[in-house]
Amino acid sequence: MVEPGEGDEAFLKHRDCPWYHWHKRLDILEEDQPGCDPWFSTAVAEINKTLGTNIKIETQCSLPGGGPNEATAEEALAAIDVFAESNANGTAKIGWRWASKKEENWLAQVSFDIQGPAAIDLDATTHNGAVNAQGLGGAVKVKSHNGAITVASTGRMLDAEVHNGEISATYTGDELRLRAHNGRIVADLARCGAVSGSVEAHNGEVVINVGDATSTDVLCTTHSGPINCDVPLRNVEKSKRKLTGTMGEGGGSLVVKTHNGQVQIKGVDGRS
C-alpha cells in the first residue's frame, strides 16, 4: 500500500509477507525476519543504481517470527546469552546462543560492536546481517550470507565472501580473495604494491581501483557484460569477454571474473 508523504515523498507499506508463510511451512522461521532487511536493502540499491532514484528502506516495526505481541519478544530477549570464550590456541570466540529452550515463535538477530588492536587476525561470520570491519592489520576472513561486507585492511591476507549483498573493500596488502554471488564488488587497491588473488562475482559488476604503484598480471573474464580498463597495460590480449595484461611491474596474478555484469578497472592517483 502506498501512502503520500511530504513534497515528493511516498511511503510503501508492506502489510503481509509471503516469505513468512513459506518459511513457516518449511519449518525454518529462524531464517525469515533476519534476511528481510538485507534482501530489501540489496534490491533497493539495485533499483536506485538502475533508475537513478533515491529510494530508502527502514524497518519501523516488526514481530519476531510472527510472534503475537511484545511480551513474546521480551521473553525471547531474556533468553539470549551473549558470550566470549578464550581458546587454548590464543584465539577468542564471540557469539550468542539461546540460554534456555527456544520456543517456536522466538527469533533473534544480535549485532556486535567489537574494538581491538589493529594487528589481530579476524575471522567473522554472519548469516543474516552486514559486516563492517575497519582499521585491520592482521589476516582477515569475513563471510556473510545475507548482508553487505565493508572492510578496510592493511594485513597480509584479505578473504571476504557474501551470498546476497555487495562487497566494498579497501586493501593495502599482498593477497586478496573476494567473492559475491548476488551483488557487486568494489575493490580499492590504489595503495597496493604487488598484489595477487581473485575478485569474482556471479550476479553483479566488479569495479577495481588501482594506483600508481599497483602491480599485477591481470586476467579479466565476463560471461555477459563488457570489460573496461583505463589503466595502461603491457602484453595486452583482448577480446569481447576477456582481457589479459601486465600492470606496473607485474608479478603475481589477479583473476577478475563476473558471470552477469561488467568489469571496470580504474586508475586513481594519476594512473590512467
Q: For 175-184, how does the pLDDT look when each residue is reduced to its tens digit (9 = 90+)?
A: 999 999 999 9
- Both 170 and 221 in one domain: the answer is yes
**Average pLDDT of every residue of the chain:** 86
Max CA distance (Å), the chain = 67
Contacts of 199 (CB under 8 A, 6+ apart): 176, 178, 185, 187, 206, 208, 254, 255, 256, 257
Task: Evaluate whether residue 272 is within a structural domain.
Answer: no
pLDDT band at 236 (very low <50, low <70, confident <90, very high): very high
Asked if residue 261 belongs to a domain, the reply is: yes
49, 81: one domain: no
Out of 22-26, 160-164, 235-239, 243-247, pick the least confident.
22-26
Q: Say whether both 146 and 259 belong to one domain.
A: yes
Domain count, the chain: 3
- Span 86-102, average pLDDT: 87
* Residue 144 and residue 131 in contact, taking contact as beta carbons nearer than 8 Å: yes
Query: Do 232 and 148 sit in the same domain of this protein?
Result: yes
Give the 3-state secondary structure percentages of the chain, helix then strand then coil, rounded to 5.
15, 45, 40
256 and 201, same structural domain?
yes
pLDDT at residue 65 tops 60: no
Domain shared by 77 and 172, yes or no: no
In-domain check, residue 34: yes
Q: Are residues 127 and 258 in the same domain?
A: yes
What pLDDT score was predicted for residue 171?
97
- The type of residue at 225 is G
Domain membership flag for residue 76: yes
168 and 247 assigned to the same domain:
yes
176 lies in a domain?
yes
81 shares a domain with 27: no
Closest alpha carbon to 259 in 175, 150, 184: 184
Task: Give me the domain span that covers residue 85.
Answer: 68-112
108 and 158 both lie in a single domain: no
**pLDDT one-digit tens code per residue, 12-62:** 666 666 666 766 777 766 666 666 777 777 778 888 888 888 887 776 655
Same domain (yes/no): 27, 108 = no
Are both 192 and 134 inside the same structural domain?
yes
- 167 and 181 in contact (C-beta within 8 Å)? no
Cα 113 from Cα 186, distance rounded (Å): 24
pTM of the model: 0.71
